[in-house]
Amino acid sequence: MSFMNDCIAETAQALEHIRQDLLPELANPGHWQERYRALMGLARQLPTLPEERRPSSALIEGCESRAWLLHYFDSVEDKHYFVFESDARIVKALLAVLLCQINGMDNKTFKACQLELCLKELHLTQHLSQSRSKGLSSVIKHLQQLQASS
Amino acid sequence: MAFNVETFRQQFPFFQANPNWVYLDNAATSHKPQIMLDSLQHFYASANSNIHRGAHSLGDQATQLYEQARQHVADFIGAEQAEQIIFTSGTTAALNQLAFGLMGTVLQPGDRILLTTLEHHANIVPWQLHCQSKGVVLDVVPLTVDHQLDMAAFSRLLQHQPKVVSFCHVSNVLGQVLPVADMVQQAQAVGALTVIDGAQGILHDTIDVQQLNTDFYVFSGHKIYGPTGVGVLYGKTKALECLTPLLGGGEMIQHVSFDHTRYHQLPFRLEAGTSAIAEVIALGTTLHWLAKQDRTGMRQHKQQLLQHGWQQLEAMPQLELLSSATNNAGIITFNVRGEHPTDVATLLNEQKIAVRAGQHCAMPLFANIHHPGAVRLSLAAYTTQAEVDAAINAIRMAVELLCPS
């Protein structure tokens, strides 16, 4: 478990950095190249989840590339944490953009969070091809189920 | 006169409607010439009636157009008789008809079928669905290390005496052209029936099914400038007679009672229900038109583009090319080292370059060559060198974004 604890902490730290320092850059609409350059840089900040820590139960259905999402709720601290991985860099970056806005939330805030708005405000959805958007919708649907059951 | 790509391209209205796009997904579907669109429009606007049954002469006229299309298709592939052309909804439907139709007549439990590693799912799953469950065994021809079909293994596997040997004419992933004439000859020497999946091959080369001597050849209309929803199952008469109809219903029946049904003769026996009449006629018109084009010039043009694109992509160290420059119908398949193909396609899509990324309905092939998928550029005769260059520049940009130095 200590490995996963480290992984949760490391991911949380990276996501916090992304939220504070990199999200504002993404929110300024510029050239599409700049946007993707920022996304790639952002993906590189995140720790890699080793193969053996990617259970098939965590695989998100509906993605063209594979993506894994693990969720932890710390009931003592009342905080939701996420650990994730994808074999596609852009997907990993987009997951980070989404998750950095909700990682570490308390249960009440998490349940009330409008997930679809997290990407829209960054002008990201319009830049995604339909199949990519479909993959992200699956992630959002998965998170909404978590919201409902939390 | 040499083949002129601009003149040819002008016949395809899609490009005027989408001047900003570079379309290199031709192996998925081709664009449509005006003559095909006119044919569809003309049929529905002026000649629309159901076929083979009307008590009125409008029906006769529609039937005549439909049967003329059958003749056009027969002429296009060099079939001996128009009755050897069965219209289906596409290649997949044709292969399903074959797998279902041969089971119990040609194929008995314990028999073997030989396929290749290069096959599209449409040439795998029907055999599994209809035959394997009844105890028919599938053998698969492997690839060599350089992703070529292992012809020595092919000959070896034929010693198992398969009853059916089914293979693609051109690989939809790698573009490689199989030595189909040789394969047919070898397969028939051990008494097997041969099926060629011509979905990609039909556009590549002039086909003469009698010269090929194959028992069956199947293809889709939409990949050869025709409409969607129509495909062709060609068979030698004797081979077609072995097929149990997959679909029953109107059109294929001579007499029905609740005790017994007598089927109609070929080709109607295998065309149950109302056909895609307008699409069949438009396909016939398209193939009739295509036969009059400079097909050698078209093929040469495509080969020049292939070599041009190939050389530039091969010079990029970040790329791994999966398909080969020789013996290739016009498909360049590659990966950016260490990157996922869908990421590359996303970045190409941003630059309005239409390609396909993923496993291209050929999962066993990708498992075999140990890649998670690949990016595929597929060329057509209307593709210009400027488009290939635009795609290459876009790939450079994608590489720069994915792996900054």
> Residue A128 has what pLDDT?
59
Q: How far apart are the CA of B348 and the nearest CA of chain A, in angstroms? A: 11
Q: State which residue of chain A sits closest to B345, comparing Cα positions.
A: A129
Phi-psi region of A62 (alpha: psi -120 to 50; beta: other; left: phi over 0): left
State whether residue B150 sits within 8 Å of chain A by CB. no
Q: Helix, strand or coil for residue A19?
A: helix
Phi-psi region of B177 (alpha: psi -120 to 50; beta: other; left: phi over 0): beta
> Residue B157 has what pLDDT?
98
> Which residue of A36, A68, A86 is the best one to mutate when testing the B interface, meaning the one whose CB has the most B CBs within 10 A?
A36
User: B332: burial class by Cβ within 10 Å (0-12, 13-18, 19+)?
Assistant: buried
B22: tokens are: 């570079």
State whether residue B371 sits within 8 Å of chain A by CB. no
A146: tokens are: 């978590």
B318: enclosing H helix or E strand = none
State whether residue B347 sits within 8 Å of chain A by CB. yes
> Residue B72 has what pLDDT?
98
> Measuring CA to CA, how many Å separate B174 from each of A142, B302, B368?
36, 15, 13
> Residue B304 has what pLDDT?
97
B220: enclosing H helix or E strand = strand B216-220
Give residues with Cβ within 8 angstroms of A141, minimum separation 6.
none
Q: Helix crossing, A130-149 with B341-350: angle to 10°? A: 120
> How far does Cα B123 stand from its chain's mean position?
11
For residue B401, give the nearest of A33, A87, A88 by CB distance. A33
Q: Helix, strand or coil for residue B38?
A: helix
Using an 8 Å CB-CB cutoff, list residues of chain A that contact chain B. Answer: 32-33, 36-37, 40, 64-65, 87-91, 127-129, 131-132
Among B220, B119, B214, B221, CA closest to B167: B119
What does the pLDDT average to over A29-41?
Answer: 82
State whether residue B343 sits within 8 Å of chain A by CB. yes
User: Measured between beta carbons, which residues in chain A are less than 8 angstroms from residue B343?
Assistant: 65, 88-91
Q: Hey, are the CB atoms on B342 and A33 less than 8 Å from each other?
A: no
A106: tokens are: 């308390």
State whether residue B237 sits within 8 Å of chain A by CB. no
Contact B39, B281 (CB under 8 A): yes
User: Measured between beta carbons, which residues in chain A are less than 8 angstroms from residue B340?
Assistant: 65, 87-89, 91
> Residue B368 has what pLDDT?
86
Low-confidence ranges of chain B (pLDDT < 70): 1, 251
User: B158: burial class by Cβ within 10 Å (0-12, 13-18, 19+)?
Assistant: buried
Rounded to two decimals, the ipTM of the complex is 0.86
Q: State which residue of chain A sits closest to B397, comparing Cα positions.
A: A33
| pLDDT beyond 60 at A129 | no
> Which residue of A35, A40, A125 is the best one to mutate when testing the B interface, meaning the one whose CB has the most B CBs within 10 A?
A40
Contact B62, B46 (CB under 8 A): no
Range list of β-strands (E), B56-134? 85-88, 112-116
Q: Hey, are the CB atoms on B402 and A89 less than 8 Å from each other?
A: yes
> Residue B367 has what pLDDT?
86
Contact A69, A95 (CB under 8 A): yes
B179: tokens are: 């030595």
Range list of β-strands (E), B352-400? 353-354, 356-358, 374-378
Q: Hey, are the CB atoms on B404 and A37 less than 8 Å from each other?
A: yes
Q: Which residue has the tokens 């990407």?
A: A119
Distance in angstroms (rounded) separating the CA atoms of residues B401 and A85? 20
Q: State which residue of chain B sits closest to A90, comparing Cα positions.
A: B343
State whether residue B103 sits within 8 Å of chain A by CB. no
User: Known catalytic residues of B?
Assistant: 361
Distance in angstroms (rounded) separating the CA atoms of residues B330 and B195? 23
User: Measured between beta carbons, which residues in chain A are less than 8 angstroms from residue B339?
Assistant: 89
Distance in angstroms (rounded) separating the CA atoms of residues B32 and B29? 9
Q: Hey, are the CB atoms on A37 and B339 less than 8 Å from each other?
A: no
Q: How far apart are the CA of A13 and the nearest CA of chain B, in angstroms? A: 24
> Residue B362 has what pLDDT?
85
Q: How far apart are the CA of A143 and the nearest CA of chain B, in angstroms? A: 23
Contact A69, A58 (CB under 8 A): yes
| pLDDT beyond 60 at A131 | no
> Residue B105 has what pLDDT?
95
State whether residue B25 sits within 8 Å of chain A by CB. no
For residue B342, give the nearest of A37, A40, A65 by CB distance. A65
Q: Helix, strand or coil for residue A35?
A: helix
Residue B204, φ and ψ in degrees, nearest 5: -75, -45
Q: Hey, are the CB atoms on B350 and A37 less than 8 Å from each other?
A: no
State whether residue B189 sits within 8 Å of chain A by CB. no
Q: Which of A67-71, A137-141, B271-275, B287-291 comes out lowest in average pLDDT?
A: A137-141
Q: Hey, are the CB atoms on B402 and A127 less than 8 Å from each other?
A: no
> Residue A60 has what pLDDT?
85
User: B152: burial class by Cβ within 10 Å (0-12, 13-18, 19+)?
Assistant: exposed
Could you read off the pLDDT of B20-44 as tens digits, one per residue?
Answer: 999 999 999 999 999 999 999 999 9
Cis peptide bond upstream of B404, omega within 30: no
> How far does Cα B48 stand from its chain's mean position?
28
A2 or B308, higher pLDDT: B308
User: B396: burial class by Cβ within 10 Å (0-12, 13-18, 19+)?
Assistant: middle
> Residue A42 has what pLDDT?
84
Q: What is the DSSP string of B229-298?
A: T-EEEEE-HHHHHTPPPSS-STTSEEEE-SS-EEEPPTTGGG--S---HHHHHHHHHHHHHHHTS-HHHH
Q: Hey, are the CB atoms on B350 and A36 less than 8 Å from each other?
A: yes
Q: State which residue of chain A sits closest to B339, comparing Cα positions.
A: A88
Could you read off the pLDDT of B319-367 as tens digits, one per residue?
Answer: 999 999 999 999 999 999 999 999 999 999 989 999 999 888 888 888 8
pTM: 0.92
User: Known catalytic residues of A?
Assistant: 63
Q: State which residue of chain A sits closest to B403, comparing Cα positions.
A: A40
